Amino acid sequence: MTFSAETSLRRAGLRITNSRVRVLYALAGLPHSSALALHSQLGDAATSVQSVHNALAALTEAGLLRRIEPAGSAALYELHENDNHHHLVCNSCRTVVDVECVVGHPPCLSPSDSSGFQISTAEVTFWGLCQDCARLDPIHSSTTNQEDS
């Protein structure tokens, strides 16, 4: 099934605006993007950075986007596709890659004590060196994935 930004906006009860539609389509092709990266991707002087931020806030609040906040990086956004995946982040180049659930079914991880909470999701971020950066830095990469050798 083909992704339709307009259909997604209607289902979420949001008004269809040019900024929202363009942001959704941009994220469909370029997940894990920051607001500034999206603004550059849109390449339109008529769409301000603030307009992109406003669209991201509305789309995230409506549940159409997932916001990820890797430590030391700007917030990144991706389409929320009703899955429960986690992320790998490169310490060097900050590339972000999706990885399936670590254990079991969503929310994938369960705390030892839920304190009465009904757990709906777990966010896990794995940090390390991507293959390209590991090739450039063999000293640090040799200690990160010893089980892979």
d(CA 6, CA 12): 10
CA distances from residue 79 to 50, 53, 65, 83, 118 in whole angstroms, order as listed: 20, 15, 5, 10, 24
DSSP state of 77: E
CA distance 141 to 136: 9
Are residues 30 and 22 in contact, defined by beta-carbon separation less than 8 angstroms?
Answer: no
93 is in an annotated binding site: yes
Q: For residue 101, say whether it is annotated as part of any ligand binding site.
A: no
Sequence ranges of the binding site for Zn(2+): 90, 93, 130, 133
Which residue positions form the known binding site?
90, 93, 130, 133
